[in-house]
Structure 1
Amino acid sequence: MTGHGQTRWGALALGGLAGVAALVLSVPVLAQGGGLAMLGTLSKGEWTLKGRGMAADRRICVKSGAELIQIMHREGGCSQFVVEDSPARVTVQYTCPGNGYARTSIRRETGALVQVESQGIHNGMPFEVTAEARRTGPC
């Protein structure tokens, strides 16, 4: 084909590539959207984390659910990247300049019970935490 037919096929090919590029480029934007809607469904109040990799049970005042993401890095100023954001599970990878990084997954069982897995580096040392977090009262 030459002339008009070739132009039509070229336009279709470019249109298809543009569609694929838009889809591929939109994935990181969706992943970083920061929605984390599941965390918003958790009951507000005091939560107790019990689990391996922790010296003792830890109590956290949960206001938004996001407090469960950085259980080893309590400071602010950390950058976060949302890896998974579904109705039953969120996974977030974060970096805290000068203090390490981690990847945390939170699996919802009920609005007052979640399973937390986190591993990374804190204060120059590796850590791994597998814990059950349960709402235990008001803050």
Structure 2
Amino acid sequence: MLETLNDGAWTLRLRSEGTSQRICVRTGRELIQIRHRQPNCDRFVVQDEADVVTVQYTCRGNGYGRTTIRREGPDVVQVRSQGIYGGAPFSIEGEARHSGSC
């Protein structure tokens, strides 16, 4: 499902924090690890359907997370992620929209 998203800059608005951030999307996988930006985390795809994907990941020494991304169109997705980051729990929900090129 992630491969069907448009490449380029996406703006992710986090409802739980009232913040937004820009993410450069090339493969769609950039939306999986919102809290854990480090490379080399182990990932396991729990669900991969036409409009929704759920991925569980573990970042050795820095926690883990489970992210569900639901596609509403090639330019809009809903993101929900929760887990442990830096020894503390996190839970975020937000909407990402394609916003141009990187």
Give the TM-score band, short-chain normalised.
over 0.9
Determine what percentage of the aligned residue pairs are the same residue.
Answer: 57
Q: Report the structure, 1 or 2, having the larger strand content.
A: 2
* Structure 1 segments unaligned to the other structure (5+ residues): 1-37
TM-score for both structures, normalised by structure 2: 0.96
* Structure 2 segments unaligned to the other structure (5+ residues): none
What does residue range 56-67 of structure 1 map to in structure 2 within 5 Å?
56-67=19-30
Larger Rg computed on CA atoms: 1
Contact 1:53 1:127 in 2 (8 A): no
Name 1:109's counterpart in structure 2: 72
CA distance in 1, matches of 2:20, 2:70: 19
What is the deviation of 1:77? 1.4
Name 1:138's counterpart in structure 2: 101
Structure 1 residue 119 corresponds to structure 2 residue 78:
no
Q: CA-atom RMSD, angstroms?
A: 0.9
Name 1:48's counterpart in structure 2: 11
CA distance in 1, matches of 2:13, 2:61: 27
Q: Report the structure, 1 or 2, having the larger helix content.
A: 1
Tell me the amino acid that sits aligned with residue 88 of structure 2: M
TM-score for both structures, normalised by structure 1: 0.71
Structure 1 residue 92 corresponds to structure 2 residue 60:
no
CA distance in 1, matches of 2:17, 2:35: 10
Name 1:34's counterpart in structure 2: none
What is the number of equivalent residue pairs in this alignment? 102
What does residue range 14-29 of structure 1 map to in structure 2 within 5 Å?
none
